[in-house]
Amino acid sequence: MNESRTRVGLFVPGESTGEQTKAREWADRRFRVERVGPADLTDDAPGPDVVWWHCETPPAAVPEGALAALKSTVRAGGRLLLGLRGMAAVPDLGIDPVGPDEAGVAAVEEPTGLLWRSLHADHPAVASFDGLRVRLADDGTAPYARYRDLVPAEGEVLAATVRGDRDRPEETSVVAWHPGDGMVLGVGSPLLFDADLDGRYREARDAFVAGALEWLAGGADGRYARPASGRDFERHRGRLRGDPHRPRYHLSPPANWLNDPNGLVRFGGRYHVFYQYNPGGPYHHSIHWGHATSEDLVHWRDEPVALTPSPDGPDRDGCWSGCAVVEDGIPSVLYTGGRGRDQLPCLARAADDSLRTWTKHADNPVIPAPPEEPDLVGSEHWRAEFRDHAVWRADGTWFHLVGSGVADVGGTALLYTGEALTDWTYRGPILTGDWEGAGPVWECPELLGLGESDLLHVSNYEDVRYFLGEFDGSSFDVERRGLLDHGDFYAPQSMADGDRYLTWGWLPEARDFDAQWDAGWSGTLSVPRVLDVVDGRLRQRPAPELTRLRERRLLDGETPSLSGGERRPLDAGGRRLELSLELSLVDADAAVLSVFASPDRTETTEIRYTRDSRLVVDRSAASEDPRATTNPQSMPVPPADEPLELRVFLDGSTVEIFANERRCLTSRVYPTRADSTGLSLASEGGRATARGLSVWALGDAWPRVDDGPNGACQ
């Protein structure tokens, strides 16, 4: 007996297969079902509420005119469920220019199904499930179509794949499209009806398919559409607002994945920060360029995605890291395009003053191949490690650094020069890391002129190493070296802002993949830092504009003195704080600042200043979540720096420490308890003092948007 009044049209363009017959029998018990062929899908006849194409064979094998009939139905506002191999037809149906790059038939040998995105966990198709991993089949032979190396250009990814106990985030299996007035849901997961499934998998299949059909038939508003505007991204951000680990004043993605900051530029009175972004979920894959803007360096707005891989271009597999310059008043970006085993520099120019749209150079890549000398490092993925760009103009010439590595030697920064951004001549390495610890490849090289010294920094898979010295136009002479940050900080990039340089770095997650997928987001950027050189030493300071985030002062210049073994709770706390203080050991072995602490201290992150001149972030009790790292982090703070002046920025899961404006240590921590917000000071083995102890509660850098139908600002 029918359980629903929904009219479902089973699209069968030829003879029914055994799988389609079983699907019809299943649907007859739940919906008002009719079989429809191409001739039934006309503008003159009233159509069903939703058309379901349970497609076992390659769509290209359907009779002539069948795809045209479906395409017309969708254009007219129809609702379409594409199952099994049906998603492979989206280019021919005019739904998306980028179709699945994998299709075929595979045996289901272990429980397989949906790895649903937490951003869309309230979708009606999965509303009845507990958790994001929904296994739909444990047996049978399943036709499938899915995205693997690509993501759809116009569809919103709802789910990837879980197989057994393994998450397969790169195997995109469920996508929603809103072409015109129509709605399409593509499901490449094994929706099998002619198979001997275990009862729990049959129940999961039944609930999912019924929920998907009812959602499509019921109108399926744009709540789950691919974001197309900054406003759409702000709604994404609103869905994740309740996550206590989400940074609120750091520059973070609206959802999904963020890594390197890119294309930093101030233009038209606004700061523009682009970043590596995966719209398909919170994992590193199919990289686009996300975009955020600010007028004051404090409050930010999400913008539409700026760069997207071109299906037939040299950036088909990703638009990776690069930089921005302004040429003849027009911003341009040099970025790494990836395709197959090649990664090469590509150029795009802004098509509007908002920097929301970009025109890619017709003859990309602008450097057709890596240099033949020296012998560059390759890998199973790349013919040569040759990526990431820093470009500047001096004395009428463009200079261009590319990151790479010399085989059996170490990382290197390769120099090109040119009269135009499209014409480059190779000059050779400016510096090669031929010493122990330099790293095999240098990513994200950047060279800045900081007055009395030049600064070159590179990221070597582990650390961000910097070199102070002199660049003579062809090589770099090193006078001093160090680490830009001693913690969770990578791939920084800078922008010129008047007479100063502002720098952001990527703060990667310090928890495992499952935790990132379940959270729905991964990665944030550091607070903006001002870099300069004073007395031959690098100085790093938080951008002074950050003081505008201060909403209220919780402590004002206090001067606590602690005896040996004493711990003093501070009358302040929170998840979004700035702290400023000077610590002196007097005769103590260590002074300890605890942050994100629960009242019973079962959760606490300890910042320890020790007699042997080190600053240590102890994460052993920072989180009760076993998926979070407990590894300690440390950096030297020479005795000459006593007393130790600290500025500490806390934001959800970030701890950024500036020590004497010279050294930085950034940590990611994930306290689980709602009351893990406390602060305290302690002294070990003797007396310690603090001077000028001030604490401020900080505000939100992002506009608050609800998740209602209109996403109204609050």
Q: Is 435 exposed, middle or buried (0-12, 13-18, 19+ CB in 10 A)?
A: exposed
User: C-alpha angle 87/92/98, rounded to 5°?
Assistant: 65
Q: What is the distance between the alpha carbons of residues 545 and 271, in angstroms, rounded to a whole number?
A: 13
Q: Does the annotation mark 138 as catalytic?
A: no
Q: What is the distance between the alpha carbons of residues 166 and 39, in angstroms, rounded to a whole number?
A: 44
| Assigned token pair, 714 | 């609050």
Q: What is the distance between the alpha carbons of residues 529 and 506, in angstroms, rounded to a whole number?
A: 12
SS3 118: helix
| Assigned token pair, 678 | 């406390």
Q: What is the distance between the alpha carbons of residues 262 and 388, in angstroms, rounded to a whole number?
A: 9
How far is C-alpha 665 from the chain's CA centre? Answer: 22
Q: Which phi and psi angles does 495 have, rounded to 5°? A: -135, 145
The answer to whether 176 touches 184, Cβ cutoff 8 Å, is yes
Closest CA to 682 of 590, 575, 554: 590
> Which stretches of 212-269 are assigned E, i.e. beta strand?
256-267
User: Which ranges in 195-290 belong to alpha helices (H)?
Assistant: 199-217, 230-239
Q: What is the distance between the alpha carbons of residues 404 and 391, in angstroms, rounded to a whole number?
A: 16
Give 62-88 as a DSSP string.
SPTTHHHHHHHHHHTT-EEEEEETGGG
Closest CA to 464 of 629, 664, 288: 664
Residue with tokens 């390495």: 429
Q: What is the distance between the alpha carbons of residues 271 and 224, in angstroms, rounded to a whole number?
A: 30
| Assigned token pair, 474 | 């062809």
Closest CA to 307 of 248, 365, 266, 349: 349
Torsion angle (degrees, nearest 10) of CA 573, 576, 578, 582: 40
Catalytic residue among 96, 167, 232, 260: 260
Torsion angle (degrees, nearest 10) of CA 94, 95, 97, 103: -110
SS3 581: strand
DSSP class of residue 408 equals T
Q: What is the distance between the alpha carbons of residues 377 and 186, in angstroms, rounded to a whole number?
A: 41
Q: What is the distance between the alpha carbons of residues 244 and 240, in angstroms, rounded to a whole number?
A: 9
Q: Which phi and psi angles does 300 have, rounded to 5°? A: -120, 155
Q: Is 674 exposed, middle or buried (0-12, 13-18, 19+ CB in 10 A)?
A: exposed
How far is C-alpha 693 from the chain's CA centre? Answer: 35
Pairing of strands 166-168, 156-163: antiparallel
SS3 626: coil
What residues contact residue 143 under an 8 Å CB cut-off, 6+ apart? 55, 56, 57, 84, 85, 103, 104, 105
SS3 519: helix
CA neighbours closer than 13 Å in the CB half-sphere of residue 542: 24
Closest CA to 411 of 389, 386, 391, 392: 386
Residue with tokens 């994998």: 102
Task: List active site positions.
Answer: 260
